Amino acid sequence: MNVDDEVLKILRSTLGLAASSLALGPDSPLLGSIPELDSMAVVAILTAVEEKFGVSIDDDEVDGRTFATVSSLTRFVRSKLDS
């Protein structure tokens, strides 16, 4: 399973973004740059990550830096898989 691709799929699906509507890459900014990414979307993304990857995420593990860019979110997911 390619973590990068799966994180992008989760972002697109949760935020309702068509693949062609917004080019998302590793350095794409998230929080503050995508109007659809509000607090409810953050919760939905974290829930989708937990379900997809079989990990558990505590509230105190996540802050704004987690959702700064696609890369920062992917790094976070990888860190959960490695723990």
Q: What is the mean pLDDT, run by run of 10 residues, along the chain of 83 residues?
A: 93 82 86 92 97 96 96 97 90
State residue 19's pLDDT score: 62
State the number of CA atoms in the 13 A half-sphere of 74 facing the CB. 17
CATH (residue range 3-15+28-82)? 1.10.1200.10
State residue 21's pLDDT score: 65
State residue 64's pLDDT score: 93
Alpha carbon distance 8, 59 (integer Å): 22
State residue 83's pLDDT score: 83
Q: Which 8-state DSSP code applies to residue 60?
A: G
Alpha carbon distance 74, 68 (integer Å): 11
The answer to whether the CB of 31 falls within 8 A of the CB of 64 is yes
